Structure 1
């Protein structure tokens, strides 16, 4: 819905400021609606569709999305307690066709064991309560159902060797985690690569990112950044091209899948 509203506004030739002047909708509210960070009230949606000159078919389709947004299958009761940007990310991920994820220090979330996820969350959120930690762990494990459903999510994840060498949760937790990666690599829809320390400096050292595309060609591709200053969703074509190019560079410098299996197996052997 957010993507379609942005498209309709662009097609009508309006800036956000002009829409605010025409409808009285707060500019910050409009921004949040277009970034999928807030669900528009029905009257707000109707006002936007009228200004944009939406067709009857578009009105019917978007009103159906708006009225059904409370019942999204990915939304669990406790998700209301999670950060808004994270629940938005879960929603996008649940609808994605392909996820390409680069991680410099963490095992990718879709590949984490429960014990590793708990240790990571406790480590990066030292002030979080037990309930908050467990809610995040549960959300992370539930997300992994995307990899086992019919027509599973296609996952291509690249991580720096630091992610598999750091003793998150201790030796036993990491040993189980690395074995989990080896198991995942047996699946045809999952590709994992590791960038070894010997590679030296590389494009991913600036930080983690996730690139998603979707089954519907009308849905724009998306890049997600989890930063200390807040979560960002990027959809501008120039940004998408930049991160796609970065991922291609990382694919080129990382070990191929078979060599990655060899490295992971050696880590397990060292720990046994």
Structure 2
């Protein structure tokens, strides 16, 4: 049974709740920053040596794919609001500019931790387990020769370098496509820029050098660019990736249907605005 003391306590608690301002921004956590905090915890799982090695690799891959989705949907949505001049703030009270600045700060700390986990932790652990992922330049001459032959017979025919200059516009870069930015020099010393799309969809991200040794496909392509640009000096090559807006904005107009609107939204994603550029 509820006695008089309990009734008074409940009344006091109700009065305290009535004084709480539920519109106070300090009571809320920003949705985008909360999502980044979650992804930081996913990365921490990849950093945890208590997990099996391959499970840690899965966590690292999940962290990377989560970041891709975050930029394609969340960041692109904020940028679209900036373009449209949206002024309404979320319950946490952060403006669009404050959210984008906070996201930039959080991501700039997340990327080095991600790279450190891969390069200084998981790669050595894979090597200790007998799975080596090497640079082409670090391989024995015999393995380099075998990889060059594989490149020349299988990979080279699928590559199409796209040069651009005053007479040719910059080539279209599809979202999340891994590419090489290549600078070559002619015999007269003049420099030209070209883009080479790395055919990850055809050959996978890793190419086998032998039974237990692999190289990154973009490294293999970069190491054999002389076959793609005969008679030219390769001044440099850098891997890069563009992330585009993938948020679907469905607008139903008179006489249209939902399926058509969604199809148009999906088709628009291919040529949508770029929201992130990654350069290795």
Give the TM-score category using the shorter length: under 0.3
- TM-score norm. by structure 1 comes to 0.22
Bigger Rg, which one: 2
Higher strand share: 2
Q: Please, what TM-score do these two structures have when normalized by structure 2? A: 0.21
